[in-house]
Chains A and B, each alone.
Chain A
Amino acid sequence: MSAVTTPARQASGGVNVKTVNRIVIYGLLALFAVFYLMPLFVMLVTSFKTMDEIQNGNMLALPRAPTFDPWLKAWGETCVGLTCAGIKGYFWNSIKMVVPAVLISTMLGALNGYVLTKWRFRGATLVFGLMLFACFIPFQSVLLPMATILGSVGRFGVTLQNSIGTSFGLGNSTVNLVFVHVVYGIGFTTLFFRNYYEAFPTELVKAAQVDGASFFQIFRRIMLPNSMPIFVVTVIYQFTNIWNDFLFASAYAGTGDAMPMTVALNNVVNTSTGVVEYNVNMAAAMIAALPTLLVYVLAGRYFVRGLMAGAVKG
């Protein structure tokens, strides 16, 4: 332990041992840093190389003549399935799906957390337990019924479209995905807000009640202004999870125009027609990773806190 060094050890040449220890520790830490950075580094340098350089050069070498072409090609030209218009459309699909899904699930979570902590009723723990368990189910166990329901809703949407001229978004894959992510996300958002509001002084709520404030007034005037940190944590957590989702995306929007980014990326990489353009693949992967990486870089502290809150209940 470096924190406390007993005098006895220092006297017997401990300083030397200590130096060696420090070198070993820093060496190991640096080695692991390389391990974690390597794939990202390789992905990044490859995305700036020409195909020629990839085939003849070294994976770890920096690009000799950095080119931005693979990025442009991935964004605007590469083939996803049979459509060759780049991944930009799918990137926007993901945005269109993520933003409403995150906002709705977060708002619901905040309200649920507020009710479950400040307006407790008989059976509240059971309700929370049931919602909490829903976070942990393998989604395979609901995948098929949801597909069936979404299929029926889609057919109903077509009927509406034919009879009254609008389907109200029923059967639209993006709407479907927003719905699915809200349904299977409220467990987590409720958990986050419940744990946060649990520590929030109930006296304040009581005092406001005595003064005649209503349920929603208390929520808006007292709870919300004090919830900024947990909002950031929840939004980041939901954003990362929904952006990165692949299972729901491939099951409910695996083909067609509404495909989200993750599915499109998988299609780009696993296309077997023609020459495999590794630099374009890597650029596409980088583009898919950028939004969540950006969030991580900008708000890493909150990101970690969200993961922890998801892991340590109580």
Chain B
Amino acid sequence: MSTVATSQIKLTPEHARPRASVRSRLQDALPKIVLAPSFAITIVFVYGFILWTIYLSFTNSKTFPSYVITGSRAYQRLWGWTFDTDPPSSWYTSITNMGIFGFLYILICLALGLFLAILLDQKIRGEGMLRPIYLYPMALSFIVTGVAWKWFLDPGLGLEQTLHQWGWTSFHFDWIKNKDFVIYTVVIAGVWQASGFIMAMFLAGLRGIDGEIMKAAQIDGATTFQLYRRIVIPLLRPIFLSAFIVLAHLAIKSYDLVVALTSGGPGGSAWLPSNFMYEYTFKRNEMAVGSASAVIMLMTIVAIIVPYLYSELREKPR
């Protein structure tokens, strides 16, 4: 009753208030009581746990958590490994892979998504059939995607073998077994999975553009290319931003795909920071280092998401 009905309450005389029974006060508090468990869960299991992880990263926890603060040794080790390039440390490999994967994945998904959306927006017959075909990979688990592409890219079984049979015997494609190129196969599978969704986002954006603007530009003699470059793409700016946030978020969280597609790659060469965290925490008994890497992942997301959420929630004060 708190906010919605204030105007009605004004009509009731002042002396009515002290007589508010326990029951009606309960009614007033009910919305907050209903919301409270969810909020409490979020505070404890999200924010509390984040603080816990941060705390652990400053201890010397190995196999079991230890709660004696021993300083920033875990971060110092990560920092040291950042420059360990010969032979590359697991951390160096992970963050380099993150850079390569994140950059290419986001860029290609955006470019391909926009391209397909523009093509589909040309009054295509059969659009209703094509759209679901482009989009269905998003419904699959990363594990399934990984299994499918692992098979497809396997030099002995997949694409290479097929092209050999068709007579192109010099064709060679073994990226998935090559420690320097394995991360690019993760890019291929990742783009395959997400680009259709980005297409759908751009398509929705294109459909929202006022047709009058396009007509006016065409009457002024703009070519199709100019039309898109000067008018349509700038109008899609908010979609670019949303798509970027979605992709950046998916990229940093990617874990399953690397596991299923490459099992970590030869010698861990396909690791992303998420794989690094999992391995160090649960398999190599370096809990403090694992926690420190998780904190770094979180900070990266915070740097991207918080300004975005802040502007989204603030723009429309209600």
Please give the residue numbers on chain A whose beta carbons come within 8 Å of chain B beta carbons, in ascending order.
Answer: 1-4, 6, 25-26, 28-29, 32-33, 35-40, 42-43, 46, 54, 58-60, 108, 111-112, 115-116, 118-121, 125, 127-134, 136-146, 148, 183-184, 186-187, 190, 202, 205-206, 209-210, 214-216, 240, 243-244, 246-247, 251, 262, 265-266, 269-270, 278, 281-282, 285, 288-289, 292-293, 295-297, 300, 303-304, 307-308, 310-314
Residue of B with least CB distance to A46: B151
Residue of A with least CB distance to B199: A32
Provide the bound-state CA to CA distance between A142 and B245, in Å: 21
> Which residues from chain A contact B45 at a C-beta distance below 8 Å?
142, 146, 183-184
> Which residues from chain A contact B253 at a C-beta distance below 8 Å?
138-139
Q: Which of B136-151 contact A (CB under 8 A)?
A: 136-145, 147-151
Is the pair A246, B142 in contact by a Cβ cutoff of 8 Å? yes
> Which residues from chain B contact A146 at a C-beta distance below 8 Å?
45, 49
B35 at the interface (CB under 8 A from A): yes
Residue of A with least CB distance to B211: A3
Instruction: Name which of B2-10, B77-85, B172-180 contacts chain A.
Output: B2-10
> Which residues from chain A contact B134 at a C-beta distance below 8 Å?
32-33, 36
Q: Which of B1-54 contact A (CB under 8 A)?
A: 1-5, 8, 27, 30-32, 34-35, 37-39, 41-43, 45-50, 52-53
Q: Is the interface of A mostly helix, strand, loop or mixed?
A: helix
Which of the residues B50, B130, B144, B218 comes within 8 Å of A289, measured between beta carbons?
A: B144
Is the pair B133, A37 in contact by a Cβ cutoff of 8 Å? yes
Provide the bound-state CA to CA distance between A40 and B136, in Å: 10
Q: A4-B218, A136-B249, A269-B147 are in contact. List 8 more A-B contacts (CB 8 A).
A: A33-B130, A59-B159, A131-B39, A138-B253, A210-B5, A246-B256, A247-B256, A296-B132
A288 to chain B, nearest CB (A): 6
Is the pair A296, B139 in contact by a Cβ cutoff of 8 Å? yes
B281 at the interface (CB under 8 A from A): yes
Is the pair B141, A186 in contact by a Cβ cutoff of 8 Å? no
User: Given A39-B152, A138-B297, A214-B27, A2–B123 Cβ distance below 8 Å?
Assistant: yes
User: Given A119-B31, A215-B27, A262–B158 Cβ distance below 8 Å?
Assistant: no
Residue of B with least CB distance to A254: B282
> Which residues from chain B contact A134 at a C-beta distance below 8 Å?
42, 46-47
B227 at the interface (CB under 8 A from A): yes
Is the pair A36, B196 in contact by a Cβ cutoff of 8 Å? yes
B107 at the interface (CB under 8 A from A): no
Binary per-residue interface labels of chain B (82-100) against chain A in the complex, 1 for a CB within 8 Å, 0 otherwise: 0000000000000000000
Please give the residue numbers on chain B whose beta carbons come within 8 Å of chain A beta carbons, in ascending order.
Answer: 1-5, 8, 27, 30-32, 34-35, 37-39, 41-43, 45-50, 52-53, 56, 65, 116, 119-120, 122-124, 130, 132-145, 147-152, 157-159, 161-162, 165, 192, 196-197, 200-201, 204, 211, 214-215, 218-219, 221, 224, 227, 242-243, 245-246, 249, 252-253, 255-256, 259-260, 263, 274, 277-278, 281-282, 287, 290-291, 293-295, 297-298, 301, 305-306, 309, 312-313, 315-316, 318
Is the pair B52, A145 in contact by a Cβ cutoff of 8 Å? yes
Which of the residues B35, B221, B256 comes within 8 Å of A111, measured between beta carbons?
A: B35
Residue of B with least CB distance to A129: B313
Which of the residues A28, A251, A266, A285 comes within 8 Å of B119, measured between beta carbons?
A: A28
Which of the residues B37, B158, B161, B290 comes within 8 Å of A144, measured between beta carbons?
A: B290
Is the pair B151, A115 in contact by a Cβ cutoff of 8 Å? no
Residue of A with least CB distance to B299: A141
Is the pair A141, B139 in contact by a Cβ cutoff of 8 Å? no
A3 to chain B, nearest CB (A): 7
> Which residues from chain A contact B295 at a C-beta distance below 8 Å?
141
User: Given A43-B148, A296-B136, A127–B35 Cβ distance below 8 Å?
Assistant: yes
User: Given A26-B124, A38-B152, A251–B282 Cβ distance below 8 Å?
Assistant: yes
> Which residues from chain A contact B32 at a C-beta distance below 8 Å?
115, 121
A307 to chain B, nearest CB (A): 6
Which of the residues A54, A58, A143, A311 comes within 8 Å of B165, measured between beta carbons?
A: A58
B125 to chain A, nearest CB (A): 8
User: Can you report 16 residue pairs joining A to B where beta carbons are below 8 Å apart?
Assistant: A28-B119, A36-B134, A36-B196, A42-B148, A115-B35, A120-B4, A131-B38, A131-B39, A132-B313, A138-B297, A140-B297, A141-B49, A246-B256, A246-B260, A262-B141, A269-B260
Residue of B with least CB distance to A189: B38
Provide the bound-state CA to CA distance between A210 and B148, in Å: 59
> Which residues from chain B contact A190 at a C-beta distance below 8 Å?
38
Is the pair A206, B4 in contact by a Cβ cutoff of 8 Å? yes
Which of the residues A186, A206, A308 comes within 8 Å of B200, measured between beta carbons?
A: A308
B46 to chain A, nearest CB (A): 4
A111 to chain B, nearest CB (A): 5
> Which residues from chain B contact A313 at a C-beta distance below 8 Å?
309, 312-313
Is the pair A285, B144 in contact by a Cβ cutoff of 8 Å? yes
Is the pair A133, B148 in contact by a Cβ cutoff of 8 Å? no
Is the pair A183, B133 in contact by a Cβ cutoff of 8 Å? no
> Which residues from chain A contact B252 at a C-beta distance below 8 Å?
138
> Which residues from chain B contact A28 at a C-beta distance below 8 Å?
119
Is the pair B162, A58 in contact by a Cβ cutoff of 8 Å? yes
Which of the residues B47, B219, B301 comes within 8 Å of A138, measured between beta carbons?
A: B301
Provide the bound-state CA to CA distance between A297 and B140, in Å: 12
Is the pair A137, B46 in contact by a Cβ cutoff of 8 Å? yes
Provide the bound-state CA to CA distance between A296 and B134, in Å: 12
Is the pair B41, A183 in contact by a Cβ cutoff of 8 Å? yes
Is the pair B4, A118 in contact by a Cβ cutoff of 8 Å? yes
